[in-house]
Chains A and B, each alone.
Chain A
Amino acid sequence: NAGVTQTPKFQVLKTGQSMTLQCAQDMNHNSMYWYRQDPGMGLRLIYYSASEGTTDKGEVPNGYNVSRLNKREFSLRLESAAPSQTSVYFCASSGNSRRTGGEETQYFGPGTRLLVL
């Protein structure tokens, strides 16, 4: 089991460029999440997908879009990158039962470090 994988590991963009961060999990989890981590801010939820076919905004969704491609894959897109989006992005997944009770462990990928110049 690879768990949660993310690509790329590191990316440099110029302001205004677009890119898609990819995430895949092989644990048959229903729920998937995208976070950003900034120094002194902890992790903040950007978007999540409670189940295949659904997506919802988190705490900081502005400037991002997501796609739950299938049960395994959840991508994050920056349409027009800004320096404020320089961050480390983590994907996570949880829950392999039909009900999501809130007590499930979230499993994290290794992160993507994004620098926007």
Chain B
Amino acid sequence: AQSVTQLGSHVSVSEGALVLLRCNYSSSVPPYLFWYVQYPNQGLQLLLKYTSAATLVKGINGFEAEFKKSETSFHLTKPSAHMSDAAEYFCAVSKPGYSTLTFGKGTMLLVSP
């Protein structure tokens, strides 16, 4: 069975500071990994995904994530936070050959002026 652990239900940063949201996965086979973002009262939208090509993946809005097999991690980063980045972020894992996703519990990113 696959699982995802997101460390920290809430992360607070100042505008302009580095954003680091942590995600660790458990999978019996090399997984596909995703980061989704959810703005208030909206559905989820894809930020970026790792599908076994380059281990450093760049996404929308300046976010990127690095797949580290040895650490079973896929942490999300952004060099400089904007107020508009305030949202809930979900890490998810899928198994090659299967369409279903397993989501982490989410991390709420709070950005202060």
B90 to chain A, nearest CB (A): 6
Q: Which of B41, B98, B105 contacts A102 (CB 8 A)?
A: B98
Q: How many A-B residue pairs have CB under 8 A?
A: 62
Q: Are A102 and B49 in contact (CB under 8 A)?
A: no
Task: Decide if A19 is an interface residue (CB 8 Å cutoff).
Answer: no
Task: Decide if A45 is an interface residue (CB 8 Å cutoff).
Answer: yes
Secondary structure call for the B interface: loop
A95 to chain B, nearest CB (A): 6
Q: Which of A42, A92, A106, A110 contacts B104 (CB 8 A)?
A: A42
23 A-B pairs in the complex with CB atoms less than 8 angstroms apart: A31-B99, A40-B9, A41-B105, A42-B104, A43-B44, A43-B90, A44-B103, A45-B101, A48-B100, A50-B99, A100-B98, A102-B98, A102-B99, A103-B32, A103-B94, A105-B49, A106-B44, A106-B101, A108-B43, A109-B43, A110-B43, A111-B41, A111-B42
